[in-house]
Amino acid sequence: MKIAFYDTKPYDRIWFEPLAAEYGYKIKFFDYKLHVDTAPLSAGYDVVCAFVNDIISDEVIDILHKNKIGLLAMRCAGYNNVDIKAAEGKIRVVRVPSYSPAAVAEHAAALLLSVNRKTYRAYIRTRDNNFSINGLMGIDLKEKAVGIIGTGKIGQVFADIAHGFRMRVLAYDPYPAQGLDVEYTTLDDLIARSDVISLHCPLTKDTHHIINNETIEKMKDGVILINTSRGALVNTDALLEGLKSKKIGGAGLDVYEEESDYFFEDLSNDIIPDDDLARLLSFPNVLITSHQAFFTREAMQAIAIVTMENIHTFETGGALDNEVVAH
């Protein structure tokens, strides 16, 4: 099997190269993201491996199909960037549905703690020998209400962490988890009662911009918003207005609606042309990380193992348990 591996970073090679050698596969690592201009590079390969910010449109699917690509192996859980309907009957699509729920949930907790207690601002101050604590006041999380939107594996781990802080845990999910120690309620009730709101749901047509002007208006004054799921769950314009009005007291974002041109890249010598992202970065109560919530040793190892197992199962004609199909 020959694999065209797109959007490669140095850490990908660390985990995928040894496994490829074990299976006897050959991987060609491309630094480029997969999109309509780079899809022709897949010619001569059997499998394409892609990531969260690759743009796998119907045009890209057609190019891959013409190049006789049999499998698109997503090395991530999300697949909202793939035109699944266009792939039907042309290319089979698999993903890594779960790798390390703890990694993402723990990062969400880190964002919450940092935004609340302004540790990132304190670090910058003390590096400049400024030991003033003015403006760094937070709140006790104990007995505060945290609203978790989405109680899949990651949301469940985050609920456990919140219980550790002695928080009151509210939850909203169309498909409630059985036996989970949370108070399930409606989305409107959760939004109105929560001191902290953390997003742990997939991006679908129903959850697109689930955080918008209307929902923000219903929130408590000073609410803290955490998003480690998908950027488009949050309407960026509405978030900016919520921050300006102080309805939102702080935001911890590991994802951004238009992140694909920026996240995972070193742009420290460039001017960011995205005005919304630049404005978000200017708020002292906003902490943005570059889609790194998944990024632990355990998660990277699991992603590599499951991705290669998906490819091997495809090669040997087995049942693709992690296949994504159009509904």
Q: Taking a C-beta distance cutoff of 8 angstroms, is the pair 156, 182 a contact?
A: no
What Cα–Cα distance (Å) separates residue 27 from each residue in 12, 24, 62, 173, 305? 11, 10, 22, 40, 15
Which residue among the candidates 163, 291, 309, 312 is catalytic per the annotation? 291
Q: Is 200 a catalytic residue?
A: no
The residue annotated as part of the active site, out of 217, 259, 265, 298, is 259
**Contact status, residue 2 vs residue 20, Cβ threshold 8 Å:** no
CB 198 within 8 A of CB 158: yes
291 is catalytic: yes
Q: Which entry of 92, 107, 230, 257 is annotated as an active-site residue?
A: 230
Catalytic positions, please?
Answer: 230, 259, 291
